[in-house]
Each structure stands twice: as C-alpha cells, then as structure tokens.
Amino acid sequence: MVGYFLNLIPLKWAYWRHRFMKKRICVLEDSEEILEIIKIVLEDENYDVQGFGTVAAFMANYLNLKPDLCLLDVMLPDGNGIEVCEAIKKHPESAEIPVVVMTANSRMDKMRENCEANDFIAKPFDINDFANRINSLIFVNV
Amino acid sequence: MPRERRLKDNQIIQILCRSDDAVAIYTGEEILIEVANPAMQAAWGRDASVIGLTLSEALPEIEDQPFLGMLQEVWRTGIDNVGTAIPAELLVDGKLQHYYFDYAYRAVKDENGQVYAIFHTARDVTEKVNDREELKVAREREELLEREQALNEELAAANEELFATNEDLSAAQERLRILNQELEDRVDERTAELSRSESRLRYLLSDAPVAIAVLRGRELIVESANKMVLNAWGKTDEIIGKTLPEAIPELDGQEFLGILDAVYTEGEPFYGSEVKALLRQNGRLEEVYFNFVYQPIKDEAGKTNGIMITASIVTEQVFGRNQVQHLNEELIAINEELNESQDLLMSTNLDLKASEMRLDKIISELPVPVVVLMGPDQIIATTNEALLKYWDRTKEEVTGKTMLQVFPELKSQPYPDLWKRVLAGEGSVASIEIPVTYKDKLEGTERSFYIDYHCQALTDLGGNNVGVISTILDVTEKVRSRKQIEKAEAQLRLAIESSELGTWYIDVITREFKPSRRLKQIFGFYEEEDMLYDATTNQILDEYRQLVTEAVDHAILNGTSYDMEYPIKGFRDGAIRWVRATGKLYGEDANGHASFSGTVQNITQRKLEEQRKDDFLSIASHELKTPITTLKGALQLLNRYKDNLSSAIVPRLIEQANGSVEKITNLIDDLLNTTRTNEGQLHLNLSTFIVSKLLDDCCQHVRIGGKHDLIVQGDLQLEVEADEARIDQVVVNLVNNATKYAPDSRKIYLLIEDLGHLARVSVRDSGPGIPEEKIPHLFDRYYRADYGGAQYSGLGLGLYISAEIIKRHNGEIGVESKPGEGSTFWFTVPKKVG
C-alpha cells in the first residue's frame, strides 16, 4: 500500500507543484540592467525568476531548476542564444519546455528558421506585451 | 451852492500876474502888450513900462527874430503856436544874450470865433537846454576820446608791424648786399676766365695746323692770323692791323676779295675746295691750292662784323692727282689688251653658264627646298621657291648673303658646324627629324621645325669642295602629331596604372585574349604565366558565376556594355578578392577588327570596408537597443508605480533609466568620435596632470563592480601634458576591454613608466590572450577580435578611437599578447607637447 502511494508521490508532487507552487522562469541575459527589469516585470506576475549571465552558467543549472519557461537572449559573451535553444529542445528532459528568444538584431530573422523557439520577442519590448506572451506560453499547458 | 466870490477882477489879475511863468496878453495886429507879468518882464529884461507898448516897441531887438511874425500869424489865423526850446536873443544887462524858451501863443476867441487876444506863456528853459547842450557836448567829447584811444591802439599795432617789416627789410637788404657781392665776385671770376680762355684760344689758333685768320670790318682788317696762314700767305705778323688788300697786294685781280665782300654782305659762309691762289712766297709768285671756309662773325644783333678764314693747303694733293691722271691713261691701254683675252674667256664661260642655268632651273622647280651655300662663309648662292617659302624670305633678301647674316639664330644650333665639316670633306650628312629653330622675320618670335636634312659637298672642276648643297624636308607636322599620340598613350598608360586597373582585350574573330599585367595580378597569376580567357569565368565564385556570364553574353549580343561587381578566387593563392569588371563591344576599327575589351578593378578593400560598415551599423543599432530596452522597461514600470511613488523600487528604476540614457549617450559619442577622427576634428584640451592620479580616479564603475582589482604601479609622480579627458577615455577603454575579454582576470595592472621624453602607460590582464593573426587588426575601425561570430557586445570602436586619440598626441599605441599568457595594452605620449 505504501508503495502504491509512494508511486503516486512523484505525480502528486508534480500536481502540487503545478497547482500550488510559483511558476519558475530561467533567464539567460548578460545585461544586468535588462535582467533586473525582466525580474521586476515577471515577479510582478508572480513568477520565480532565475537569471544567468553566461551560456555556461545557464547550461550548468537550468535542468536542476526545472523551469516552466526559458527566456534566452541571443548575443552572449560565451555563446549564442540560438544554440542554447536548440540544446534545450534536443535534451529529452527539457524538450517540452517553452523557449522564448529575445533579439535586438533584426538580421537574425534568418536565424528564426533554423531554431525551434516557441516565440521571439524583439528588443526593446513593451513590458505588458512581454508579460502577456510569457503568460500565454506557460498557461497553454494548463 | 457856490458862494459869493470876494476878489475883484483886477485883484485876480494881480495875483495871477505873480506866477513864476512868464505870462503876457497881446491884442491887435501890432501885438499890443495888454498884460505882461513880472516874470515876463524879467524874461524880456524890462520892467512894467513895456505894458501899453507894442512888442516891437518894447523889444526892438526882436526885429530880426521870428516872434513877431509868429504872433501876427496867430492873430490872423487863430491857430495856436506852441514851441519848445526855442532860441531867442535878448538884451539883458546891456548885453545881447542867448536864451531858450518853451512858449505858447494861444489865440483867444469870442463867441463868434473871432480872435480878440493872444495869450502868451513862456518858460525860461535856457539852463535846461544849456545843460542838455553841455551833456551832448560832453558825450560827444567822450566818444571822440574813445575813438582816439582806439585809433591810438591801432596805431601802436601798425607801428609794431612796421617795425617788424623794417627789420625784414633790413635783413633783406643785408642779403641783397651779400648777393651783390657774390655776383660781383662771380663776374670778376668770369671775366678772368674769359680773358684766360681768350688767350688760350689765341694760343690755340696761333699754333693750329690749320690756317686761321680773323678779319674785322668791311675793310677786312687783319685782326689776328696764325702761323700757318702767315706761312701760306708768305707774310709775317706785321700785317696785323692792316687791311687784307694792303697785307696781300697780289690778291688784287683774284676772286678772293670779291668772295670775302660777298660773305660780309650776305652773312653766309663760303666753302672753297681746291681753289688756286697765286701768292708771293720767297719772292716768287707761287700757285697754292686751298680748301677754305670764310665764316662770317656776327655781333649780338646778328650783324656781320668780321670774317674768320680757315684754310688748309692742298697743293700737294692736287699735284698728286694730276699724276694719277697720267697713270690712268696708261692703264686704259693695258685694259684694251686685257679685253681681248677676256673675250676668249667669255666664250668658255658661256658654256659653263648654260649648264649652270640648267642646274638652276632644275633646282628651282624641285618641290623640295634646296639651297647651295658657297665658300666657308656659306654665302647663299642658289635658292628655290620651296626653300624661300620655308624660310619665309624673298630671293632678294637672301641671295649673296651668308647664312648667318640672314639667320643669326642658327649660330647656336649645330648647322654651321655641320656645314663646315661637310665642306671640309667629312662626307655628306643625312639626318631625320632633327629640330631647327628660326626667328620670325617680323616679330622675332621663335618658330621651331622638325626637318629631314641632307647636306653634301659641291666640288669644282678641280675636285675641291667649294660649297655645300642641302635639301630640307619639313616634317614638323608628322613629328608633332606622332609625339602627341605618344603623349596621349603615355597619359593613358599612366592613368590606367595609377588607377590600378587591369585591362583586357579580346578580338572577336580570332578570339585572341590579351590580359594586361595588372589583370593577371588581380586574378592571382604570375606575370610570365599565360592566362586564358576561361580563367576569367572559372575563378568567379560559384554563386556569382552564372550572373556574370549571362551579363557578358547579353552585352556581346546587344552591343551594350556591362559593369558588375563580383568575387573571384585567386589562381595561385586561392584568396578571395572582389572585383568590379566593365566590358564593352567595340565595332570594327581601322584594321577591320572588332574587339571586346574592358577593365577590372580590385575593390576588395572597399567591399570589406562596406561589409564592415554594414556590420558595424547593425551592431551599433543592436548595441543601442540594449540600453533602450532597459530604459523603456524602467519607464513602463515607473508608469505602473506612478500612484505609489514611495515604493522602494522607484528610485532603482529611475537609476536604471538614467544609467541607460548615459549608456546611449556614450555609444552615440563613440560613433561621433569615429566620424570626427575621420575628419581630423579631434581637438585636444591640454593640461599638465599626474598620471597616477588619473589612473586612481578612473574606471570607478569597474572598481565598484567588485569583480576586478585595479592596481596602479610604477612612477607615481610622473607628470604629463596632454588632454586629460581623452587619456582617461583611452585608459577606460583599455580597462573595459580587459574586463570584457578577460573576465576572470581578477587583477588588472596599470603600469606607469618614464621613458625620457615619453610617458608610457600599460594595462595588463591575465586573461586568455589574443591570437597573433588578430593583433594587426585590433586597432582597425569596426574591428572586433571575434568578428565573425559577433559574440562580444560593444561597437569595436573603442581601440580605434583610442588609437586615434594617442596618434593625435603624437604618441604610439600597441599590444603584447600571447594566447594563454594574458595581454598588455600600452600607449606612449610625449611628456610635453611640441
């Protein structure tokens, strides 16, 4: 009997987490000022925000954090946001996580075709539009 | 109600008569004195006895005075007569005295208007008048005095002037006296000189080798005669003072006296030439021949008062000539003989002449300029039409003259030498396209020609060189146009070379492909290698090849030109280069060849620059978007909190907004700086500062960030004269680079060194270092070390601007770096400007 329940615990845990815990967003952005703005905006929407300034740091930690959404900048000191997106989508544990790519460079439009991000947001963004998009992506699954 | 009066009429009269004013009443034409009061009596100088008398009886002295008449007038006309200050002369105290009266003669009328009495009142105003008179006189006297005074002053002034003038006058007189003295002295001198010159003249005349005599007056008195003339006349100086006829009696019967007289009369000189005179010399009558002049001597009025004779004896000459005459006659005889032998020669000459004439004819008709120059002086013997035209001279102007006479400008040119050598027998000369310069006949300007020149010697029968014959062909036009073409070609070559254009040429028919050396270079061939036409298409990068070949075919088909830019791969080195190629089809030229030719220009540099600029712009816009994103986000958040401005988050957001604006400004400044340094507008604000202090104060944002330690080492006292703000900019840039590219290098060292008259600052990190191949480009505009991946934020302008700033300071900037060993960026600036 305990074993049965024990089997249920991971499911329930997920359910509880899903229903009762704050949604978590992992952000990859090297500009500290933009990261701060994003944090304020998303925390206002009741999200838990974790930010990383380098690809290395992000890749090392994001899986453990089990984010509900990944928000990626493109131009990073040690890597490319598009590559990170591909990595996330390829990894079995994170393939389902929605990924949003922020870009300031319109030339990157070409890159869109190569990458499987769920959405692209152009910088500078309107914070309300930004919040809406994030919200819609996270709560699509619910 | 008037009271009854107490006084009787006569009492009234008595009382009235006591008035001080003179009163009198007259009646009738005779002017009877009815009443005269004491005052009137006193005025008249009479007493009461005058009452009852007529006025003229009472005052006989008024007979000549107008009073009586006036009173009678009043009686008759009834018109009052009033006067003031009327003079009257009255007998008073036995004397006739002058009085003045104010008076009134009033006519008293009855009811009918008839005059029945004259009422006379008078007042003695003599004193008053006299006083007035005195006053007038006194005033007049005063005026006179004043005028006198004024006149006196004028006089005094005039006197002074006069005195001054006098002084001037005496000064002038003195000067005049001095001048006079000078004048007299000068006159004396002149006279002395004159007498000196006179005696000199006389001396000259006396010893002159020409016979000179001076005759005075119509009688021709011999005033002076020099030795020569005395000799000629055979006389001594005892003839001085005698008349000429007296002195030389033998002149009688000869023309001379007559001529002298005529000269005297006419006043015109007479010139005699080889005139015979018979003169007694040594006791004998000799024939003497003279050339002489009788010159009239005139006085100041122009009247002849003497004659000067100058003569030279020419007797010998005349005799000599006679002899010559003799000899001449002999000569004539000899000549006759000669003539005969001459005739013989003549016939021989004729033959020669004929052939000469033929030669002349041939030469004259040649269309080529020919000239025959005879003798070592190059006398122009024969010319022809063509030559005269070429020389721009007429036959008369040149024939018989030497070449150098007609064309002195040839002296400095090789021709005279050439003629001499040909004449000397060094062989004939043929030269092509040699230059010659003539001077224009009229204007003297220089005309240059190019000629084909042939010159050979002319020999006589004996085989001797007697002259040269030259033919001249004017090839100036030909040479000039050829030179022009050569020049144009050279210019074209130069233009092509300087533009580094490669050129190519294809003959449409033969398909012959001729690439220029530069073209081969651009396509990566060695100069000596053969380059085939196919190379031009094969080496185009794949994605462009079709485009290019289509364009070329199109141009050939339609006879249009093409102009394209495309990348090619070098034949040997495989390097990618960008070229701009043009080509055009040219129709048949003079030789019937149709050709296709064009140019190729290496535009790799430009293309790369363009690409970098494009990348730069996109990076710039990207870079700008980052702070703009923050700015927008902060402002939108502030908007959310606008009703709750005390929230803790608000100051932070404001700080963010400000910081972003700061960043945007800096980025834009960087952009501007790039443009400005391009245009050389970078202006330096010089000041002297301590380098270590600048380093301590700078890069606060890095120190605050806490990720790096900035350690300042070296010469901490070193001072430098530079633009402090700009040097700060450079240091900040280098430090920022260190933080960006060596983020894990905890310590960043800032070293200050004194290198004599330079100061050196280095920024050292222990980061990953920079690969060798990237180092040369680090300071290029728009260049970033990891360019292709566009991974690093920032515009890549930092080092370029820093380099420009250092350059402006006449310093140097550089980097030492090895991968894995960190990087040291350094710069030097002169410690003092200038």
CB A105 to CB B631 under 8 A? no
pLDDT band of residue B753 (cuts 50, 70, 90) is: very high
Check if A110 contacts B (Cβ < 8 Å). no
Q: What are phi and psi of B772, to 5 degrees?
A: -60, -40
Name the residue among B626, B632, B637 with its Cβ closest to that of A40. Answer: B637
Distance between start and end Cα atoms, chain B: 135
Q: Which residue has the tokens 């190059």?
A: B378
Asked if residue A18 is part of any domain, the answer here is no
CA distance B649 to chain A (A): 9
Asked if residue A65 is part of any domain, the answer here is yes
Asked if residues B805 and B682 have their Cβ atoms less than 8 Å apart, the reply is yes
Check if A14 contacts B (Cβ < 8 Å). no
- Give the pLDDT confidence score for residue B252 in this predicted structure: 83
- Give the pLDDT confidence score for residue A1 in this predicted structure: 52
- Give the pLDDT confidence score for residue A42 in this predicted structure: 94
Same domain, B455 and B525: no
**Which structural domain, as residue segments, surrounds residue B408?**
366-476
Query: What is the Cα–Cα distance from B44 to B120, expressed in whole angstroms?
Result: 13
Looking at the predicted structure, is the pLDDT value of residue A91 above 80? yes
- Give B732: exposed, middle or buried? Use CB within 10 Å, 0-12, 13-18, 19+: middle
Total domains in chain B come to: 6
Looking at the predicted structure, is the pLDDT value of residue B444 above 50? yes
Asked if residue A46 is part of any domain, the answer here is yes
- 3-class DSSP state for residue B544? helix
Name the residue among A36, A104, A126 with its Cβ closest to that of B622. Answer: A104
Looking at the predicted structure, is the pLDDT value of residue B67 above 50? yes
Same domain, B718 and B815: yes
Chain B interface, best mutation among A33, A125, A130, by max B CB count within 10 A: A33
**Which of these ranges, A116-120, B271-275, B508-512, B731-735, has the smallest mean pLDDT?**
B508-512
Cα angle for residues B263, B269, B273 (degrees, 5° grid): 105
* Token output for B212: 């000179």
Same domain, B768 and B791: yes
Name the residue among B630, B640, B790 with its Cβ closest to that of A33. Answer: B630
- Give the pLDDT confidence score for residue B796 in this predicted structure: 61
Query: What's the whole-number mean pLDDT along residues B765-787?
Result: 72
Chain A interface, best mutation among B616, B625, B629, B786, by max A CB count within 10 A: B629
If residue B213 lies in a helix (H) or strand (E), which one and from where to where?
A: strand B211-216
Asked if residue A8 is part of any domain, the answer here is no
Asked if residue B107 is part of any domain, the answer here is yes
Query: What's the whole-number mean pLDDT along residues A95-108?
Result: 79
Chain A interface, best mutation among B616, B617, B630, B660, by max A CB count within 10 A: B630
Query: What's the whole-number mean pLDDT along residues B556-574?
Result: 85
Same domain, B521 and B597: yes
Asked if residue B174 is part of any domain, the answer here is no
Same domain, B710 and B780: yes
Q: Which residue has the tokens 């990618």?
A: B576
CB A128 to CB B618 under 8 A? no
Query: What's the whole-number mean pLDDT along residues B708-732?
Result: 90
Q: What are phi and psi of B381, to 5 degrees?
A: -95, -50
- Give the pLDDT confidence score for residue B15 in this predicted structure: 86
* Cα atoms in the 13 Å half-sphere on the side-chain side of A19: 5
Total domains in chain A come to: 1
- The neighbour count for residue B291, using CB atoms within 10 Å, is 16
Asked if residues B566 and B541 have their Cβ atoms less than 8 Å apart, the reply is yes
> Whole-model pTM?
0.39
Query: What's the whole-number mean pLDDT along residues A5-23?
Result: 66
Query: What is the Cα–Cα distance from A27 to A68, expressed in whole angstroms?
Result: 11
Asked if residue A59 is part of any domain, the answer here is yes
**Which structural domain, as residue segments, surrounds residue A93?**
24-139
Which residues, 6+ apart, have CB-to-CB distance to B626 below 8 Å? A31, A34, A104, A123, B663, B793
- Give the pLDDT confidence score for residue A6 in this predicted structure: 58
Same domain, B728 and B676: no
Q: Which residue has the tokens 């050979």?
A: B456
CB B629 to CB A128 under 8 A? no
Looking at the predicted structure, is the pLDDT value of residue B58 above 50? yes
Query: What's the whole-number mean pLDDT along residues B410-439?
Result: 85
Query: What's the whole-number mean pLDDT along residues B507-525?
Result: 84
Query: What is the Cα–Cα distance from B3 to A140, expressed in whole angstroms?
Result: 157
Give the whole-number percent of chain B exceeding pLDDT 90. 8
Check if A78 contacts B (Cβ < 8 Å). yes
pLDDT band of residue B782 (cuts 50, 70, 90) is: low
* Token output for B679: 């245009």
CATH classification of the domain holding A77: 3.40.50.2300
* Token output for B787: 């360019």
Q: For residue B740, which residues of chain A lie inside 8 Å, CB to CB?
A: 77
Asked if residue B277 is part of any domain, the answer here is yes
**pLDDT tens column, A21-62:** 788 999 999 888 899 999 999 998 999 999 998 899 999 999
- Give the pLDDT confidence score for residue B763 in this predicted structure: 93
Check if A38 contacts B (Cβ < 8 Å). yes
Check if A123 contacts B (Cβ < 8 Å). yes
The residue in chain B having the minimum alpha-carbon distance to the alpha carbon of residue A127 is: B633
- What is the ipTM metric for this complex? 0.83
Query: What is the Cα–Cα distance from B280 to B394, expressed in whole angstroms?
Result: 64
**Which chain B residues touch A if contact means CB-CB below 8 Å?**
618, 621-622, 625-634, 636-637, 640, 649, 652-653, 656, 659-660, 740, 743, 789-793
Check if A132 contacts B (Cβ < 8 Å). no
CATH classification of the domain holding B694: 3.30.565.10
* Token output for B396: 């008369």
CATH classification of the domain holding B667: 1.10.287.130
If residue B552 lies in a helix (H) or strand (E), which one and from where to where?
A: helix B542-558
Query: What is the Cα–Cα distance from B692 to B824, expressed in whole angstroms?
Result: 18
Boundary-marking domain end, from B681, B708, B731 = B681
- Give the pLDDT confidence score for residue A106 in this predicted structure: 60
Same domain, B698 and B800: yes
**Which of these ranges, A121-125, B160-164, B499-503, has the smallest mean pLDDT?**
B499-503
Same domain, B656 and B750: no
Query: What is the Cα–Cα distance from B720 to B688, expressed in whole angstroms?
Result: 5
- Give the pLDDT confidence score for residue A112 in this predicted structure: 60
Distance between start and end Cα atoms, chain A: 30
Same domain, B285 and B303: yes
Q: For residue B632, which residues of chain A lie inside 8 Å, CB to CB?
A: 124-127
Query: What is the Cα–Cα distance from B700 to B547, expressed in whole angstroms?
Result: 56
Q: Closest Cα to residue B761, out of B694, B708, B818, B697?
A: B694
Q: For residue A74, which residues of chain B lie inside 8 Å, CB to CB?
A: none
Same domain, B582 and B646: no
Q: For residue A36, which residues of chain B lie inside 8 Å, CB to CB?
A: 630, 652, 656
Query: What's the whole-number mean pLDDT along residues B617-634?
Result: 83
Q: For residue B705, which residues of chain A lie inside 8 Å, CB to CB?
A: none
Which residues, 6+ apart, have CB-to-CB distance to B554 below 8 Å? B560, B562
Asked if residue A41 is part of any domain, the answer here is yes
**Chain A / chain B CB contacts < 8 angstroms:** 73
Check if A79 contacts B (Cβ < 8 Å). yes
Name the residue among A36, A75, A124 with its Cβ closest to that of B793. Answer: A75
Asked if residue B183 is part of any domain, the answer here is no
- Sequence-separated contacts (24+) of B66-69 with Cβ below 8 Å: B68/B31
User: One-letter amino acid identity for B549?
Assistant: T
Q: Closest Cα to residue A70, out of A59, A141, B637, A107?
A: A59
Looking at the predicted structure, is the pLDDT value of residue B739 above 80? yes
pLDDT band of residue B778 (cuts 50, 70, 90) is: confident
**pLDDT tens column, B303-349:** 888 888 888 888 888 877 777 777 777 778 777 877 777 777 776 67
- Give the pLDDT confidence score for residue B89 in this predicted structure: 79
**pLDDT tens column, B131-161:** 888 888 888 898 999 999 989 898 888 888 8
- Give the pLDDT confidence score for residue B575 in this predicted structure: 83
Q: For residue B628, which residues of chain A lie inside 8 Å, CB to CB?
A: 123-124
- Give the pLDDT confidence score for residue B682 in this predicted structure: 64
Asked if residue A6 is part of any domain, the answer here is no
Asked if residue B652 is part of any domain, the answer here is yes
Same domain, B378 and B460: yes
Asked if residue A66 is part of any domain, the answer here is yes
- Give the pLDDT confidence score for residue B789 in this predicted structure: 38
Boundary-marking domain end, from B602, B620, B652 = B602
Looking at the predicted structure, is the pLDDT value of residue A4 above 60? no
Question: Which of A45-49, A104-108, B255-259, B600-604 has maximum average pLDDT?
Answer: A45-49
CA distance B603 to chain A (A): 25
- Give the pLDDT confidence score for residue B429 in this predicted structure: 84
Which residues, 6+ apart, have CB-to-CB distance to B782 below 8 Å? B612, B613, B615, B616, B795, B796, B797, B800
**pLDDT tens column, B95-133:** 888 888 788 889 999 888 888 998 988 888 888 888 888
Looking at the predicted structure, is the pLDDT value of residue B791 above 60? no
**Cα–Cα distance list, B368 to B383, B387, B394, B398, B453 (Å):** 11, 7, 17, 18, 11
CA distance B535 to chain A (A): 34
Check if A41 contacts B (Cβ < 8 Å). yes
Chain A interface, best mutation among B611, B615, B619, B622, by max A CB count within 10 A: B622
CATH classification of the domain holding B14: 3.30.450.20
Asked if residue B355 is part of any domain, the answer here is no
CB A123 to CB B626 under 8 A? yes
Boundary-marking domain end, from B444, B476, B508 = B476
Looking at the predicted structure, is the pLDDT value of residue B626 above 90? no
Asked if residues A81 and A101 have their Cβ atoms less than 8 Å apart, the reply is yes
- Give the pLDDT confidence score for residue A14 in this predicted structure: 63
In A21-142, alpha helices (H): 32-44, 55-65, 81-90, 109-114, 127-139
If residue B87 lies in a helix (H) or strand (E), which one and from where to where?
A: strand B81-92
- Give the pLDDT confidence score for residue A88 in this predicted structure: 92
Cα angle for residues B639, B641, B644 (degrees, 5° grid): 140
**Cα–Cα distance list, B298 to B217, B268, B301, B308, B378 (Å):** 11, 11, 8, 10, 59
CB A125 to CB B790 under 8 A? no
If residue B700 lies in a helix (H) or strand (E), which one and from where to where?
A: helix B700-705
Asked if residue B617 is part of any domain, the answer here is yes
Same domain, B671 and B704: no
